Amino acid sequence: MSNMPPLRIFLDTEFTSFNGPLLISFALVAETSQALYLERAEGWSLEDCSDFVVETVLPLLGPPEQRANDLMIRWAVRSWFHSLDCETIICTDCLYFDEPLFKSLFTDRMNLWPAGLDQRFLEFDSPVVDVIIEKKGLRQHHALDDAIALKTAYLLKSEF
């Protein structure tokens, strides 16, 4: 790989609850705007979800038949990172939840961790994210829209 700094990938996750969180969906959005959004078909159930998630997050999901099992998700994530063809590092606005939830997809399968993806995650949080969501008409608490807003806030910060 080159001496270029790693490409930043912005991650957002949606999960069942703060108490015993299980991954429902996630999005990865590169600085260069390539994106991957996936919803899990397994590993969580409606009974695991808090009232907030049932009322706010679940209505934003696509139909259940479009969700992927974890094997398909690992394949899609590895393929997506391979297509980027560079060193990458993940940035998130909440390391406490996003990092372990994303890594849970590879639990007992770290040999499948995407090549070129640093296992250390960075945290970037900005109050501008909420403004971007509102101004762009994005869906707050939808992983793809939240990751896009986080990337946009980071790029705006970089301009100053």
pLDDT along the chain (160 residues), means of 10: 83 97 98 97 98 98 97 96 95 97 91 91 93 96 98 80
pLDDT of the residue at 1:
46
Give the per-residue pLDDT at 11: 98
Kindly give the pairing relationship between strand 7-15 and strand 88-92. Answer: parallel
Q: Going by DSSP bridges, is the β-strand pair 122-123/88-92 parallel, antiparallel, or unpaired?
A: parallel
pLDDT at 2: 56
Structure confidence at residue 45 (pLDDT): 97
CA angle 67, 72, 76 (to 5 degrees): 100
CB half-sphere exposure, 100, CA atoms < 13 A: 7
Q: What is the DSSP letter of 3?
A: S
